Amino acid sequence: MSKVVIFNASPRKNGYTAKLLEQVGKGAKSKGAEVIEFDLNDSGIRGCQGCYYCRTHDGCAIKDYLQPMYEAINEADAIVFGSPIYYYQITGQAKVWLDRTFPMVGDNFAPRHSGKKLITIFSQGSPNPEMAADGIKAVNNILAAYGWKLEDSIHCCGTTDFRSEKLERFNSNIEQFEELSQRAFRDGENLVR
């Protein structure tokens, strides 16, 4: 059975990032995958302590909510990561998680758990995709350095306008979100093939 691990860095339980991640999970489950989810907004997560325990061990010395993620990643066939964009970058919750993925590389920054498929999802209020392009590229490059193959990166823009009072623009954005939701579901299916 395929295993997919989802990391949700959104503080909004029903926000656009969470909804798109949910679609990836549904797509993977529809093909028989086991899906494990981590809520990166959990208050039981601590930041990296710079102790370098992970240089001599395959994992982290911090015993918190994220501790099980190292085994989950090791056993996974695919990783799914999603974050809203705040101030041109991923959320603070996502940054803490990214720091805690340092054990994904060993000596000379060689990947320890390569060969995973990867889907990333980002959502932002601004309709301009260029605003977050550099931040998204940086995150995707870090995850690729772990030996994870980026299958798709969904970038949902203009989410503020989804709540707009201008009906014509609102309907156009709802259609865009529906298309991205279908794409996310297909991405989940394709993780299992």
DSSP secondary structure string for all residues of 88-135? TEE-HHHHHHHHHTGGGB-GGG-BSS---EEEEEEE-SSS-THHHHHH
Among 23, 31, 19, 14, CA closest to 189? 31
pLDDT at 37: 98
For residues 28 and 104, is the Cβ–Cβ distance under 8 A? no
Residue 156 Cα to chain centre, angstroms: 13
Give the pLDDT of residue 172. Answer: 59
Under-50 pLDDT residues of the chain = 166-170
Domain that holds residue 76: 3-192
Return the closest-CA partner of residue 91 out of 18, 41, 23: 41
Q: pLDDT tens digits, residue range 127-146? A: 899 999 999 999 999 999 99
DSSP code for 7: E
- Nearest-5° angle of CA 59, CA 64, CA 65? 100
**CATH number of the domain where residue 98 is located:** 3.40.50.360
Domain count, the chain: 1
pTM over 0.75? The answer is: yes
Q: pLDDT for 44-72, tens place per residue?
A: 999 999 999 999 888 999 999 999 999 99
